[in-house]
Amino acid sequence: MESKSRVLILTNHFYPEEFRVNDIAFELAKKNYSITVITAIPDYPIGKFFSGYSLIRRRRERIGNARIIRLPIIPRGSGRKLQLALNYLSYLISSLFFVVLHALDNDYDAVLVHMTSPFFITFPAVYLKRLKKMPLILWVLDLWPESVAAAGGIKDKNILGLLNVMVKKVYQQCDNILVSSNSFRKSITQKGNFEKKLVYFPNWAETISPISIDEKYKNIEPFSGRSALDFIFLFAGNLGEAQNIGFILEAVAGMDLKKSVKFVFMGDGRKRAQLIRKAASLGLSEICYFPGRFPQITMPYFMSQAEVMLASLKNDAIFSLTVPAKVQFYMAQGKPILAILDGEGAEIIHRARCGIATKPDDIQGFQNALSLFLEYTKEELYHMGENGKKYYLDHFDKKKRMDQIDGLLRKVTNNNRDIR
């Protein structure tokens, strides 16, 4: 009987936090893999430890066939810069110390790093790569230092130059670099000769089936008591700086819309309170709603109540390289999309014929697209959504991605065994 390949996954976010690395861990654990996940105590996005978790409780657990080890961190709190810095630093220190000790009596055939932010979380994996001579696969979901320059506001050329050198050193240690967007290729290859390491590995949607949900969720405005005349645009996700929701509010304020046209911004984030105030100051309180964050499993219900889904990123070069994961999620649910996107995200929507994408900061273009959606018939909206679902199944289906990572791991682990 073939022995199981031992794979270590390093990530600062894991279940019950909602990240796609969960799918990789749990699906591989069902196959011929022994999976260990080293992660942090869950605190995203609420900023405090999830119920049932603490510095002493549930630090080690087994979920399905995966072994989970949770490291102590300082919670991210409200997400201000100092709090985030302490959160990131605490995870880096915990993971470095723990991985060094863990490596003394644990061997693995490969290590996979789920790299969101910050890129420093790759350091323990680089150490393991050098110590144990094991294959290192890096899954890049945030480009560094570009993303920290855009979202974090760091403009100092010396700091960015240093970060650039450090990122290059990490890439040099990788056997494969998975990219969620083809647009990432240019940034990565500018740092070195890494083209042969790159593997296109796009996002997929969470597997969420429509269910009978608690009645309390059906009483959320404006879904409760909606009339046949209502036309709802729904945004689902983080309400932060990058999402540029304020731009949508300003564009809507400049239009003469009926009260039956409603905008729902479902989610939480650093900008939510500010956006609620902005909507009120623009006189939009009767048509704009910020109901908060709800369990992922309720999303199919809320999306079924909306005519069109919204996706938005602010006008910055780094975001033109990004495909927001919500685009694939909306497509999988068969919903038409009105997006404020540039680059690959806009191209996907155009190729799929599942909606309209306008340029960031083009208020007139967004207003024209919004007006056009209001003129579409229900049948036209339905076909647009079906186009998106078909494109999703052809290009982003979860099973295809799981088969892809399975094949890649088999290749690198077999090659490593041959070398040994």
Q: How many residues does the chain have?
A: 420
Q: For residue 322, is it within any domain?
A: yes
**In-domain check, residue 287:** yes
Mean pLDDT, the chain, integer:
89
Same domain, 223 and 354: yes
Q: Give the pLDDT of residue 383.
A: 97
Do both 45 and 164 map to the same domain?
Answer: yes
Q: What is the CATH number of the domain that holds 371?
A: 3.40.50.2000
Closest to 46 (Cα-Cα) out of 395, 412, 295: 295
Asked whether residue 413 falls in the same domain as residue 264, the answer is: no
Q: Indicate whether 173 and 247 sit together in one domain.
A: no
Distances (CA, A) of 79 to 48, 241, 400: 10, 12, 35
Q: How far apart are CA 22 and CA 5, in angstroms?
A: 18
Backbone angles phi, psi at 317, to 5 degrees: -55, -40
pLDDT surpasses 60 at 75: yes
369 within a domain of the structure (yes/no): yes
What is the tens place of the pLDDT at every residue in 288-319? Answer: 999 998 888 888 889 999 999 999 998 887 78
- Whether residues 44 and 9 share a domain: the answer is yes
> Over 80: is that where the pLDDT of 321 sits?
yes
Question: In total, how many domains does the chain have?
Answer: 2
- Quick one: 275 and 359 in the same domain? yes
Q: Does residue 209 belong to any structural domain of this protein?
A: no
Q: Same domain, yes or no, for 411 and 363? A: no
Q: State mean pLDDT over 396-402.
A: 92
Residue 171, amino acid? Y
171 and 194 in contact (C-beta within 8 Å)? yes
If asked whether residues 60 and 179 sit together in one domain, one would say yes
* DSSP H or E segment with residue 290: strand 288-292
For residue 112, being part of any structural domain is answered with yes
- Specify whether 220 is located in the same domain as 290: yes
Across the beta sheet with 66-71, the strand order is 60-63, 66-71, 33-40, 5-10, 110-115, 136-140, 176-179, 198-200
Indicate if the pLDDT at residue 13 is higher than 80.
Answer: yes
Does residue 342 lie within any of the structural domains? yes
The burial class, CB within 10 Å (0-12 / 13-18 / 19+), for 230 is middle
The pair of structure tokens assigned to 67 is 């072994």
The pLDDT, as a whole number, for residue 221 is 83
Q: Which residues of 300-339 are buried (b: 16+ CB within 10 A; e: fewer)?
A: bbbbebbbbbbbbbbebebbbbbbbbbbbbbbbbbbbbbb
Judgement on whether residues 82 and 127 belong to the same structural domain of the protein? yes
Q: Which two tokens stand for residue 298?
A: 């309720």
The tens digit of pLDDT for each residue in 204-245 reads: 987 666 555 666 777 788 887 788 889 999 999 989 888 999
Q: Are residues 258 and 286 in the same domain?
A: yes
**334 has a pLDDT exceeding 70:** yes
Q: Which domain holds residue 239?
A: 215-395
Same domain, 222 and 181: no
Asked whether residue 77 is assigned to any structural domain, the reply reads yes
The reply to whether 210 falls in a domain is: no
Both ends of the chain: CA-CA distance in Å? 20
Nearest to 112 by CA among 191, 19, 24, 13: 24
Residue 418 clears pLDDT 70, i.e. is over it:
no
